[in-house]
Amino acid sequence: MTETVTPQRTLTVALGDRSYPIHIGVGLLQQANVLMPYLAGQQVMVVTNDAIAPLYLETLCATFPDHLDVRTVVLPDGEQHKTIEQVGRIWDALLEAGFNRRCTLIALGGGVIGDMVGYAAASYQRGVAFIQVPTTLLSQVDSSVGGKTGVNHPLGKNMIGAFWQPKAVLVDTDTLTTLPSRELSAGLAEVVKYGLIRDEAFLSWLEENMQALRNVEPVVIAEAIAKSCQIKADIVAEDETEQGVRALLNLGHTFGHAIEAHQGYGNWLHGEAVGAGMSMAAMLSHQLGWIDDAALARVQAVIESAGLPLAAPANMSVDDFLVRMRLDKKNIDEKLRLVLLTALGDACVSDETPTATLRDLLQRYPRD
Amino acid sequence: MTETVTPQRTLTVALGDRSYPIHIGVGLLQQANVLMPYLAGQQVMVVTNDAIAPLYLETLCATFPDHLDVRTVVLPDGEQHKTIEQVGRIWDALLEAGFNRRCTLIALGGGVIGDMVGYAAASYQRGVAFIQVPTTLLSQVDSSVGGKTGVNHPLGKNMIGAFWQPKAVLVDTDTLTTLPSRELSAGLAEVVKYGLIRDEAFLSWLEENMQALRNVEPVVIAEAIAKSCQIKADIVAEDETEQGVRALLNLGHTFGHAIEAHQGYGNWLHGEAVGAGMSMAAMLSHQLGWIDDAALARVQAVIESAGLPLAAPANMSVDDFLVRMRLDKKNIDEKLRLVLLTALGDACVSDETPTATLRDLLQRYPRD
């Protein structure tokens, strides 16, 4: 962690002819002309939500030259609105504007907006360009990298979607200054995850800098975002469609999705559920003898210090978990596949956890 | 056209690691075990419509071994039901069955079913396997080859969708014996199109064999299907995502889509609209001096002999056409791009038709 932090830095997600840049910096929303080379044509549809629109929509739109045909769509805020119906509103707006295959969608907002706009772009006229402008820590370090797009279904999270890569990602760290601290913590869950699955040195750095991160100190937060994006970009470049190593990015997510689905989307933030889920995965890894007491304690301490919940919801039984977990996309032909820790900074996908062991974990895991 | 016709033949659509076979033959529905190598896992969802289900659903399902988990979904028949809501019913069924990423969707029916099931597969859990079992001539020669999937929107045909390739296509020519003659003619529109854009010898062969084709003589119809699939497969292999030569497959479609959209989906069959649309494109090509009187007369005669309408709907004004045509996906940044004939067996995409010339054609083109 000795790199010099400059006001702006650019990473590249290497995916052959679908490679794209991630620009990270302070005040980048006022420099959206950096996006001009990535527009497919004159038609631009900026999609955001009603919480973000008053803060940043005008700033972003003001940066585009007059000759562009810039339209906007404002959707309701919240994970509970991550539905095919809301994606339909984007399609309606595109068609009402008469936008063609050379239009460009811009997603201004958190992961929910990014996922929906990406899916809208993947499916409009069988695929048009889109650009991510993520405004939450979670979306900056996670959903803006990797090309996963989609919406929820009443029977499961992210069940409908596509792999569709953006043309560019623009991360303005200034947007984090207006982010509620609960959402900042939810983003830190994914940052911690990168350390846990891939990089013990980064994990140690996070332990040391957690308070600075929670205070949104610009240099520290930019460093954490860049490092997180780099780890994810490396993994995605290795395995774009999640046949292998990319599955490790789901540490804590099988448990976490079960919590989110059971509680009703939007009641637990995604990152909060992943925080508790990573703790559950770590405890299962410990129960299997893969990590020791000290490692488990470090995992739980860093999750807690990020301001995340460790306990599972009081109203979830063992069977509530099991039923929801079997619907998770990682479970191929009835075998329950879980991401588990083999060390701090190293993880694997295993389908060999005996059901009895899992039931035992779910039974004794602390509830609220 | 000197190849020997065997009871079964197999073509390959060459798309690298997404290449797939098209099996064409008599009685193949009873031999669906030929599909076994293309199933991704044990979970199979056969999707059909309420017109096809009583004819072929049991036959197809009976061919699968007992250890597979085979489910069915029956949707309402007709282009007017080619909507995101009906695709939603497929997703509901997949989730209610608990099907995972290794499930396989099978589309049993015409182009509407094929397009919807393909799109449902493209978007379920960000993409699962699907197989086409087309039961209409149109879908056998057109929509089962090329990977275009999607649904209609009130403001435009096929506006929502994805490029998604099947794992295999199974064409049983027996299914054409139950096809209404109006639908057979609609399929012949696309067969004629292949001759017009690419192969003058095939066009001559069609002129000679049109009556046999309309009588569904097995050897002749199998020959026409195989030749059509081969021409389309060659074009798609050259240009999978329609950046260049693939656009030629849209001969007659810009006019045709305008007719379908204006009349309300389902009132004119797709192939009927394409038949009239090809005649309009040919007359425009003639007006521009690209083809002579004799060529125009041959185009219109072959369309008419296939049992297709030449006249445009009486209730469509010049502006009704122009407004609908500008929303067509082929029109990039306001320029109207049309597929026109440069000779019999040769076509091009042109965006240089003066609006006045187009208006003149639309004004004088015969109406019902």
- ipTM confidence: 0.83
pLDDT at B219 over 90: no
Mean pLDDT of B282-295: 97
pLDDT at A331 over 70: no
- Mean pLDDT score across all residues of chain A: 92
pLDDT at A4 over 80: no
Burial of B203 by CB count in 10 Å (0-12 exposed, 13-18 middle, 19+ buried)?
buried
C-alpha–C-alpha distance, residues A78 and B36, integer Å = 43
Residues B158 and B23 in one domain: yes
pLDDT at A330 over 70: no
A262 annotated active-site: no
**Residue A335 labeled ligand binder:** no
Check residue A319 and give its pLDDT: 92
Q: In this structure, is residue A1 part of a structural domain?
A: no
Residues A299 and A340 in one domain: yes
Closest Cβ–Cβ partner in A42, A122, A150 for B333: A42
A364 annotated active-site: no
For the stretch B293-302, pLDDT in tens is 999 999 999 9
Q: In this structure, is residue A2 part of a structural domain?
A: no
**Contact check, Cβ <8 Å, A327/B95:** yes
**How remote is the C-alpha of A10 from its chain's centroid?**
19
Residues A147 and A222 in one domain: no
With an 8 Å Cβ cutoff, is A18 touching chain B? no
| For A42, nearest residue in chain B (alpha carbons) | B333
**Contact check, Cβ <8 Å, A161/B101:** no
Check residue A34 and give its pLDDT: 86
Check residue B334 and give its pLDDT: 60
Check residue B254 and give its pLDDT: 93
Contact list, B162 vs chain A (CB under 8 Å): 122-123, 126-127, 162
Name which residue leads in pLDDT, B275 or A33: B275
Q: In this structure, is residue B337 part of a structural domain?
A: yes
**Residue A115 labeled ligand binder:** yes
With an 8 Å Cβ cutoff, is A134 touching chain B? no
For the stretch A246-289, pLDDT in tens is 999 999 999 998 998 899 866 898 899 999 999 999 999 999 99
Check residue A51 and give its pLDDT: 95
In this prediction, residue B328 has a pLDDT band, given cuts at 50, 70 and 90, of: low
- DSSP conformation letters of A108-141: EESHHHHHHHHHHHHHBTT--EEEEEE-SHHIII
B126 annotated active-site: yes
**Residue A329 labeled ligand binder:** no
With an 8 Å Cβ cutoff, is B148 touching chain A? yes
Tokens of A360: 């035992």
Q: In this structure, is residue A141 part of a structural domain?
A: yes
C-alpha–C-alpha distance, residues A367 and A309, integer Å = 10
| For A95, nearest residue in chain B (alpha carbons) | B155
pLDDT at B148 over 90: yes
Q: In this structure, is residue B2 part of a structural domain?
A: no
pLDDT at B1 over 60: no
- Mean pLDDT score across all residues of chain B: 92
**Residue A67 labeled ligand binder:** no
When divided into structural domains, chain A yields a total of: 2
Residues B298 and B201 in one domain: yes
The CATH number linked to B78 is: 3.40.50.1970
Residues A48 and A190 in one domain: no
Give chain B's end-to-end CA distance (angstroms, integer): 36
Residues B99 and B168 in one domain: yes
Mean pLDDT of A298-319: 97
Mean pLDDT of B54-69: 94
The rounded percent of chain A whose pLDDT value lies above 90 is 77
Residues B156 and B255 in one domain: no
Residue ending a domain, among A144, A178, A212, is: A178
Residues A206 and A110 in one domain: no
pLDDT at B6 over 70: no
**CB atoms near residue A267 (< 10 Å):** 14
Name which residue leads in pLDDT, A219 or B85: B85
Residue ending a domain, among A150, A178, A206, is: A178
pLDDT at A300 over 50: yes
B334 annotated active-site: no
In this structure, what are the phi and psi dihedrals at residue A118, rounded to the nearest 5 degrees?
A: -60, -45
Q: In this structure, is residue B3 part of a structural domain?
A: no
Residues A355 and A250 in one domain: yes
pLDDT at A1 over 50: no
Closest Cβ–Cβ partner in A98, A156, A159 for B326: A98
Contact list, A333 vs chain B (CB under 8 Å): 41-43, 100, 102
The sign of the CA dihedral A94, A98, A100, A104 is negative
Closest Cβ–Cβ partner in A42, A84, A329 for B101: A329
pLDDT at B216 over 50: yes
In contact, B107 and B113? CB cutoff 8 Å:
yes
Tokens of B350: 């042109």
Name which residue leads in pLDDT, A316 or A2: A316
Domain assignment of residue A141, given as a range: 8-178
With an 8 Å Cβ cutoff, is A40 touching chain B? no
Residues B210 and B324 in one domain: yes
The CATH number linked to A189 is: 1.20.1090.10
Question: Which residues 298-357 in chain B show a CB within 8 A of chain A?
Answer: 326-327, 329, 331-333
For the stretch B119-143, pLDDT in tens is 999 999 999 999 999 999 999 998 8
Residue ending a domain, among A149, A178, A207, is: A178
Give chain A's end-to-end CA distance (angstroms, integer): 36
B246 half-sphere exposure, CB direction, 13 A CA radius = 17
**Contact check, Cβ <8 Å, A160/B91:** yes
pLDDT at A242 over 80: no
Mean pLDDT of B208-237: 93
For the stretch A23-66, pLDDT in tens is 998 889 988 778 999 999 999 999 999 999 999 999 999 989 99
